[in-house]
Amino acid sequence: MSNVFDFVIFGGAGDLALRKLIPAWYRAYREGAMPAGSRILPTTRSVEAAAGYMAKAQAKVEEFLGDEFELESWKAFANNIVPVAVDISTLDQRWDDFAELLNNSAATSRVFYLSTPPAVYGECCKHLDAKGLNTATSRVVLEKPIGYDGKSADAINEQVAEFFPEANIYRIDHYMGKETVQNLMALRFSNGLFENLWDAKSIDHVQISVSERVGLEGRVSFYDGAGAMRDMIQNHLLQLLCLVAMEAPHKLSANSIRAEKIKVLEALRPLLGADVGKNVVRGQYVSGEMGGEQVPGYQDELGDESTTETFVAVRAHIDNWRWSKVPFYLRTGKRLNERCAEIVIQYKDVSHSVYDEEATGKMLPNRLIIRVQPEESIQMTMMTNNLESVETKLEPVTLDLNFSEQYQDFKSDAYKRLMMDAAAGDASLYIHRDEVDNAWAWVDPIIEQWQMPDSAPEPYAAGSWGPETANKLLSDDNRIWFNAGQNSKRA
């Protein structure tokens, strides 16, 4: 990246900015990926907060990066941070000073990262427009969640569209910046091997699981109004599904990639009425044991009664030629047994077995496991003959490409990648408005169905893998979930 940029972070003193965005820019700086003269401009509401910003930022970055933090390089990096006191809700003199600061800059591009509640996106863009700051080379980055449902998302997108053209609106989904997610595209589109092995003829089913050990993490009011469907499935899991299911874009441009993802979302079979009960499981954790300790249930943490779901499992279908009759099982939840994000592609059985499986052991279908976190790896399980046995004994072994071993110095950081892309004007990993609309169009009727009287999430113990009905969702199809650390590596 060589163009000099100004990167403004509205909500610069907030949790996301201090925990993710500033540390990510610090990493980029240390890697020499920040062009000289570029500036990071976090905004604060008050002049006092701007004055105390650098000390606070340093403390937070030290806390979050641990051993990776190094004082000398931080001091050098800190010269590029310019805290600015400007209040989004008041178009006063400070906005003039802010505009002057940006207009007297060597930067050739400008990014406004809105790390604020979506309710103020419109107002913020309006003020940027009033000060003439939304120039042709200015981009605006919107954090998720965009809206609460299709209608509210549309209203937010409409407000922003009044002041920025779609090409300059960058909707972020940090899962798109994760390295293994990038590698999923590389795996699919740069290896001829998979080109003919990526459809209903070869693949039995796909599982996409994002399990978390954390609970509410103090985000009480946000999370209870959202739940796992809006917080995770509507964005992160559907984005992963798109990358697995989409056709090859004709080139790696933002428009071509997004066009292919939109086709997948459009082909998602709607789940309406009674189909919701048959294909979707929602759960909420109750008290359970994790790491030898008893942890409270969701409603205890919340201090109130609630029917918000902390777990969702879905059987989805993509109605097109490539994926006809191949189920995509999606699953996510808080307070689950392991922290893991994994895509499992389960291939079909061989068409005819030449082995006497009673003697040789059961043949298992090949499985491609793309692990996004905690470690980043791609594994393929294959059947082989056990060399230690005199007789033929079939055994699954795993071909393991572990990225953290392969690239030991590499520090994976989804936000770094995505923010650098925004500064460089590359929107290919960002989300188009039509993707947001299509994702809500699929999610909304499911949530609507949950509003029916007597509909409630099923309880599951903290530390488990979710409600029993989620297992039944697969066992009814003669399949099982592959749970990280249990049965995902081997059969």
Note the residues at the interface with ligand BG6 (CB under 6 A).
174, 212, 231, 341
Query: How would you write 358-391 as a 3-class SS string?
Result: HHHCCCCCCEEEEEEECCCEEEEEEEEECCCCCC
Nearest approach in angstroms of CB 144 to ligand BG6 is 6
Q: Which residues contact 222 (CB under 8 A, 6 or more apart)?
A: none
- For ligand BG6, give the closer residue by CB, 176 or 281: 176
The answer to whether the beta carbons of residues 488 and 377 sit under 8 Å apart is no
Nearest approach in angstroms of CB 431 to ligand BG6 is 13
Residue nearest to ligand BG6 (CB): 231
At 467, list the tokens.
């409600």
At 243, list the tokens.
């990358």
- For ligand BG6, give the closer residue by CB, 204 or 212: 212
Nearest approach in angstroms of CB 212 to ligand BG6 is 5
- For ligand BG6, give the closer residue by CB, 155 or 214: 214
Nearest approach in angstroms of CB 475 to ligand BG6 is 27
Phi, psi of 325 (to 5 degrees): 65, 15
* Catalytic choice (236, 250, 317, 352): 236
At 121, list the tokens.
């996106």
The answer to whether the beta carbons of residues 428 and 252 sit under 8 Å apart is yes
The answer to whether the beta carbons of residues 295 and 289 sit under 8 Å apart is yes
Burial annotation 432-462 (CB, 10 A radius, 16+ → b, else e): bbbbbbbbbebbbbbbebbeeeeeebebbbb
Q: Is 31 exposed, middle or buried (0-12, 13-18, 19+ CB in 10 A)?
A: middle
User: What whole-number distance in Å separates Cα of residue 255 and Cα of residue 435?
Assistant: 12
Nearest approach in angstroms of CB 237 to ligand BG6 is 11
Nearest approach in angstroms of CB 400 to ligand BG6 is 22
Q: What angle do CA 196, 202, 208 make, to 5 degrees?
A: 105
Nearest approach in angstroms of CB 210 to ligand BG6 is 6
The answer to whether the beta carbons of residues 10 and 141 sit under 8 Å apart is no
- For ligand BG6, give the closer residue by CB, 143 or 421: 143
- For ligand BG6, give the closer residue by CB, 227 or 297: 227
294 three-state secondary structure: strand
Nearest approach in angstroms of CB 178 to ligand BG6 is 7
Phi, psi of 363 (to 5 degrees): -80, 135
Kindly compute the dihedral angle of the four CA atoms of residues 306, 310, 315, 316, in this order, to the nearest 10 degrees: 90
Helices (H), 397-491: 403-406, 414-424, 433-450, 468-475
Is 432 a residue of the active site?
A: no
203 three-state secondary structure: strand
Nearest approach in angstroms of CB 396 to ligand BG6 is 28
- For ligand BG6, give the closer residue by CB, 27 or 110: 27
Neighbours of 230 (CB within 10 A): 23
- For ligand BG6, give the closer residue by CB, 20 or 315: 20
Helices (H), 149-280: 150-161, 179-189, 192-195, 220-226, 228, 238-245, 254-267, 274-279
- For ligand BG6, give the closer residue by CB, 413 or 444: 413
- For ligand BG6, give the closer residue by CB, 212 or 376: 212
Helix (H) or strand (E) holding 85, with range, is strand 84-85
Q: Which residues contact 435 (CB under 8 A, 6 or more apart)?
A: 171, 242, 258, 261, 262, 265
Catalytically annotated residues: 236
